[in-house]
Amino acid sequence: MSEQTHKKDEPSITLSKDMVYGGALAILACLLVLSLFTHGFGVVKDVQANQTANQTAVQKLSDAELKSKAENYTNQNLLSNNLTVVITKLEPYGAYTTLASANIMNGTTVLQSLQIYISNDGSSIFFQGFRLNESVKKTVPTSANTTTTKNSTATTPPPKADRPKAQAFIMAFCPFGLQFLKAYAPVMELLGSKADVEVRFVSYAMHGQKELEGNSYIYCVQKEAKDKLAAYLRCSVEAGNYTGCVAKSGIDADKISACVNQTDAQYNITGMYNDQSTWSGGKYPQYNVDKALTVQSGVGGSPTFVLNGQKLSVSRSAEAIKKAVCDSFTKPPPECNTTLSSSVEAAGVGPVGGAASNGAASGGCGG
């Protein structure tokens, strides 16, 4: 990361727009503290333990000034179209920083809730361990043959199989999980008889109790009516109605409801939701239906695409996902000659085939 010289009130930077997406987990706060006190971001000067009368702290702006600076900066430099950041709460975070709770808005609709950190003098803004008012290069691979691991990016394709296994790990109300499912459903329709095209679940939820239930509805439709899962996903991502889309997709609603209740009891989903001491990082309720798979595959956030056991980063279009799956066949079936839409889907609830806005093509929820 290269340090750039700029005026205190006029940070001059260029940052990839996708940096403002995704949930901030508790570990990010630890990274921030570490960066502050190891000079990783150059926010403060050394404060020696034996400094007393001559110790100086960063002068704090008022909450209104900090809110204005952060909103103006992120909206002018990081977002586009109808997307805006609105800060909803400010609270102290150590001697030099303020923690801001914020929403990414599309008009009046909340797409994502997140946390950012602002130095008390308003000169620096941090998100997910990055200082936003510096030049930061973040590469988001989009090629179907590019794989991503937790700490590195490799260019080796996933192993081939006679019957590939594709797994999309999502959170039911993550706008970027919905984005991936919009592109995933047509692939499921095309290749579902030749490959195992599955929906799996991240082991925590960031969007409240409704997400826990939404996850379980998808899980149960896949378990009890796999042949109708693609139709159900199309309905639910467009309507945002995970319960009503059961009957609309021709699925036995009583059977799915019974499965949801049984799944809740088996994995103690509601019980852990009601016991906040069990929440991941103390912030997010657990959803452990696919816990073993998430650990095995190194899944941390939504969406994560795993193909034949290997994490893969692909463009969120039906054609890109189809190509990745078809490339993983030992012998591709004739269906692979069918061309699907190459348009990157829009994030959030909405029609399949909607174009993504700038900056929304590679966001995610969680780490």
The CATH number of the domain holding residue 236 is 3.40.30.10
Same domain, 213 and 315: yes
Cα separation of 332 and 323, whole Å?
Answer: 10
Beta pairing class for 125-127 and 130-131? antiparallel
Tokens 């009046």: give the residue. 108
The β-bridge partners of 306 are 167, 311
Same domain, 122 and 218: no
Same domain, 117 and 176: no
* Domain end among 131, 166, 192: 131
DSSP state of 334: G
* Domain end among 131, 155, 175: 131
Same domain, 127 and 151: no
Same domain, 177 and 118: no
Same domain, 297 and 264: yes
DSSP helix/strand/coil, 324: helix
Quick check: is 252 in a domain? Answer: yes
Quick check: is 88 in a domain? Answer: yes
DSSP state of 301: E
Same domain, 86 and 168: no
Same domain, 154 and 64: no
Quick check: is 122 in a domain? Answer: yes
Quick check: is 363 in a domain? Answer: no
For the chain, what is the domain count? Answer: 2
Cα separation of 246 and 257, whole Å?
Answer: 10
Quick check: is 343 in a domain? Answer: yes
pLDDT in tens, the chain (367 residues): 433 333 334 333 233 333 333 333 333 333 333 333 333 333 322 323 333 333 334 477 888 888 888 888 777 766 655 678 899 998 886 566 788 888 888 778 777 777 777 878 877 776 544 444 443 333 333 333 333 333 333 447 889 999 999 999 999 999 999 999 999 999 999 999 999 999 999 999 999 999 999 999 999 999 999 999 999 999 999 988 999 999 999 999 999 999 999 999 999 999 999 999 999 888 899 999 999 999 998 998 999 999 999 999 999 999 999 999 999 999 999 999 999 999 999 888 888 886 655 445 567 888 6
How many other C-beta atoms are found inside a 10 Å radius of the C-beta of residue 247? 12
Quick check: is 303 in a domain? Answer: yes
Domain span at residue 172 reads: 147-353
Cα separation of 110 and 288, whole Å?
Answer: 26
Encoded tokens for 209: 């109790």
0.85 exceeded by pTM: no
Q: Which of 218, 269, 258 is nearest to 242 (CA)?
A: 218
Q: Which of 16, 360, 327 is nearest to 143 (CA)?
A: 327
pLDDT per residue as tens digits for the range 269-303:
999 999 999 998 888 999 999 999 999 989 989 99
Cα separation of 241 and 253, whole Å?
Answer: 13
Same domain, 295 and 185: yes
* Domain end among 104, 131, 158: 131
Same domain, 121 and 171: no
Torsion angle of alpha carbons 185, 191, 193, 194, nearest 10°? -150
Quick check: is 29 in a domain? Answer: yes
Quick check: is 3 in a domain? Answer: no
- Cβ proximity of 203 and 287 under 8 Å: yes
Same domain, 171 and 82: no
Same domain, 60 and 167: no
Report the number of secondary-structure helices (H) and strands (E) in the chain.
10, 13
